[in-house]
Amino acid sequence: MTAALEQLRERFPRVAVVHDWLTIPGGSEDVVIELLKMFPNAELFTSIYDPAPWPVLITERRVHPSPLDKIPGASRNYQKLLPLMTAAFRSFDFSRFDLVLSSSHACAKNIRTPPSALHICYCHTPMRYAWDESLLEGEEIGRVTRLALPLMLSRLRRQDVQGATSPDLFVANSENVADRIRRYYGRTAEIVNPPVDVARLLSLPRTPGDHYLVFGRVVPYKRVELAVAACARLGRPLQVAGDGRALASVRATAAGHEGIELLGRVSDSARDTLMSSARALLFPGEEDFGIVPVEAQAAGLPVIAYRVGGASETVIDGRTGVLFDQQSALGLAAAIERFEGLRLDPSDARENAKRFGRERFRAEMAEAIEQAALAREATAR
């Protein structure tokens, strides 16, 4: 533990960590886990809590779910409850805390904190579905819900902007998200990239074969079907590891094409084997940051990614992978062909990934909290 973090624990003995929902582990939940490691005595607040998939770091502490957690099926249908979440988060009482850390990609930042508490929001993104309606393409939305969407999205945007006045400081996970915070909220943000478990992957051996790899959740905005279509067009073998609600459409795109394997969800050890043996990772979607491309580079695996969003900040074009501009099967196919004409050194990818490790995250977050505390004290004086 660093001296700076020890001083923060002494300065802020009563800490609350707030997260949108705790249902399925993912990249934003890794941030929550790191914040809890920084402040081991922190209490945890969330809209909906399913304890089943979480480590003891979460399950053995005080977790405060909102009243929404009592709704039958809430842990499976939490996204349908978005219109109710701001009210749920504003029902929490933070009057006994000195420091409140919200981890937000939806409504967690919309909490009310007392003037005595410092509120810092680690923003994964302003609410995606409120601001970017293209993300709803490919989602199963009923006719009645689709008719009500304009009014519902307008209300969510208003709540999102109003909630953005609550934090004393925004910390963005990327330049990409910091720019959205400026555009949507009129606020500036410090940038601290999320923690990635690169240390474990740096020593993973590279035994590349001919196949390409897609890894992660198979949901519409990740555009996995573009990777399938591009590889089918070029006659390149592809392995898709992951599952999700867009798997049926991906399976339809892959139908009749030899060499396209849909593996479903895989274990961590199987993922390591896939990363070791793949020729390159294909990443055709737009992500706020994108942890998988960083993990791939830590394993020495080149990345072929859409040049928008977080991947444009983590992949070095022509050195640790290839970036492409046209988000289409043709654009990705051209990028694959360009990649095949390059000779990339795996050590460059591994070295690039080192800058996203867990210790770096804790140090930079501690510095951001300290500077916000000092600025607040200076204003008070």
Instruction: List the pLDDT tens digit at each of the 381 positions of the chain.
Output: 578 899 999 999 999 999 999 998 888 999 999 999 999 999 999 999 999 999 999 999 999 999 999 999 999 888 889 889 999 999 999 999 999 999 999 999 999 999 999 999 999 999 987 777 655 555 555 565 566 667 878 888 999 999 999 999 999 999 999 999 999 999 999 999 999 999 999 999 999 999 999 999 898 889 999 999 999 999 999 999 998 888 999 999 999 899 999 999 899 899 999 999 999 999 999 999 999 999 999 999 999 999 999 999 999 999 999 999 999 999 999 999 999 999 999 999 999 999 999 999 999 999 999 999 999 888 877
Domain locations in the chain as residue ranges: 3-195+357-380, 212-356
The C-alpha angle with vertex 366 and arms to 363 and 370, in degrees rounded to 5, equals 140
Domains 3-195+357-380 and 212-356 share a fold: yes
Looking at 3.40.50, 3.30.2310, 3.30.420, 2.20.28, the CATH number of the domain 3-195+357-380 comes to 3.40.50
In sequence order, what are the residues at sequence separation of 6 or more whose Cβ sits closer than 8 angstroms to the Cβ of residue 112? 90, 92, 94, 166
Which residue from 366, 373, 357, 336 is spatially nearest to 210, judged by alpha carbons? 336
Q: Which of 260, 262, 232 is nearest to 247 (CA)?
A: 262
Q: Which helix (H) or strand (E) holds 14?
A: none
DSSP bridge partners of 241:
215, 264
For the stretch 301-352, pLDDT in tens is 999 999 999 999 999 999 999 999 999 999 999 999 999 999 999 999 999 9
CB 260 within 8 A of CB 286: no
> May I ask the CATH class of domain 212-356?
alpha beta
Strand ordering across the sheet containing 169-172: 63-65, 43-46, 15-19, 99-104, 118-123, 169-172, 189-191
* pTM assigned to the model: 0.89
**Beta strands 63-65; 43-46: pairing state:** parallel
